[in-house]
Chains A and B, each alone.
Chain A
Amino acid sequence: MFAYIIRRLVYGVVTLFALSLVVFLLIQFSGGSPLDRLKLNPRMQPVIAQLTELWGLDKPWYEQYFIWLRNFVTPVDVPAQEGLIVVLGKLGIRSWVAIAAAVAAVGYTVALFFVKVKANWWRTFRAFSIILTWLIAFWIIKSRIVFALNWGISFRGDGPVWDNIFGAAGNTFRLGATALLLALIVGIPLGIYQAIKQYSFFDQLGTMLSFITFSTPIFIIGVMLQLILALYMERWTGVKLFYVVGMTSSGYEELGRGLFGLPSLAQLGDVIQHLTLPAISIAAISMAGYSRFQRASMLEVMHSDYLRTAKAKGLPRRTVVVKHALRNALIPIVTLVSLDVAFIIGGAIITESIFGWPGVGRLYIGAIQSIDYPTIMAVVMAIGAGVVVMNIVADILYGVLDPRVRYD
């Protein structure tokens, strides 16, 4: 399986290269220049000439592509001309710790695959321990090596792209992870329950609600939530339950710190009040999708021969559903959820705009409007990398859930 993951990662890198080239060409040939705004002011002429020279905008597209690529992988504060050896020589102790963490994580992953224990619990333990190890390693590596790269300098004059994305990514993650969690914990049990009680009143109601949510555009859901749950709610009852804009209130810092520097309860409450509505907006569609998918896959399993066998063995209905049906019914959902995880990285452009959420989506739309190649490319590459990685994760999860899947 290790060889399989390596092979998939290599394919992934090739895919990302192709992606970067295609997207770069699209931006190049869609017309316009990042400096167009400045042209309105005649006195800007020398600045335009200077920036054109600096950014290489007068060069042919392939040269521009390589300039972008070089900047993308150039570490902070290291001039582009210096080679890799020089870069390594300039790394501080913290960077070396990060490299050690990465090596350790790879080593642990490899080592685990040489341990042969043929049991289900072992497969599960192995999967989780590897994921955990990588999370910890990721935490250490974060902002040391990979993310010490600039990812290029923004054309909008606001510094290295990485700095902008890093800030926005945290915000997007808060919103996206909450939305995903909400979609999962509501959508999947809903689908399962609907399948178990097929054609009941609850099932019909769930189906109807799913179709309504699924077919309502997200900007309508978002605005309706703002209107009903925030504005009208406050007007009619006088209770301010939810906020419609931003991540926290302006007086957030004054709400006091909790123990160990953690947010206080008042701060947590404030965060939830801001988070709820945008999270519901994003979750709504996924939730409807998950519940439909889960219902269909559960129904298929419920009518399968092996479930009849399980019943004929005398297993209680609970065991039949939980042990024999659920695991099989979850397999098809894995792909769906994995790809959703990947797209969370890219942020939710519409929802973030409606709710004034300073995330990647807003950064992205801003970058597109001002033809800021480095930022656009960085977001695209991040989403691309997310899709590649989550596809691999999905395939590994398949193997955990379904013994018929083999990696070779």
Chain B
Amino acid sequence: MRNPDLDLPLETTAFGRFLLWLTAGLVFLCVLAFAVAAIADAQLTALRQEPRIVTVALPPNPEPAAARREVDDVLAHVRALPGVAYASLIDEAAFGELVDELLVDDAADRATGGLFGARMPLPRLIDIAFNPGAAIDLPALDEDISTLVPGATLGDSGQIERSRERLAVLFRGVAGSFGLLLLAVIVVVVVWLTRAGLEAHRQTIDLLRQMGAGDRYLARQFEQHALAKALRGALLGFALAISVVIVVVYVPTLLGEAPLAAHELAPVHWVLLAMVPVVAALLATLVARLTAHHGLARLR
């Protein structure tokens, strides 16, 4: 027999009419923002798990025995350093072919030997891979190697990775902040709608008070309504946003194309995204309750 309507006809005011759709829209944007932050976080984690590569370039040495000794000395030195995963000489023939491909335009010239075939002196390259997170003193390494082999130089390809890391941190921060801002907007919207609801139903509130309804009873009306509306709106917004995330992250991969987002999200990211609608709905409910309580205390 219990009518599903609440004692306060909140459905007829802005509180009832707009709360669902505003929550849906805000949660949609919020989930997208947090998804971008999650993708950036996944990217950052992947970058930080990659070994950092430093390349040593030894100047050409026409004396093969001396040249081999220089390489061995450098390899022995760097392999003894803490945090070095591996160090190896780049195959000279493969390096020569690579240089030919980059610098010799004519295919016929490449066929006759190219620069490498013409015995153009090329530096010898040694890749040094450091474990993720290893502390690296590059100036000291540069100095050691220069001492071992005068004229040797150190190239740090990690500069690019560090730029990507900084970019990922920036994206994560901005997107996460935007997500939090949207949650704050939900708070503001619920406060505004609740106040409007209190004002619109003042006569009914007076009547219910006359029958003995206390502030707790009346605030619960707003709270229940907010929970029902905000939860439905939040789930709707979440479903739409997750559809977008799945399309961006997974569908291109399934179709054999380059994914728009380079890294798949970890389970913890999905859990955090799934919590957004729950948090939004609970936040809306709590704010509606507190605002109603505060407003009722001011309504004599």
B is bound to A: no
Which A residues are within 8 Å of any B CB, using their own CB? none
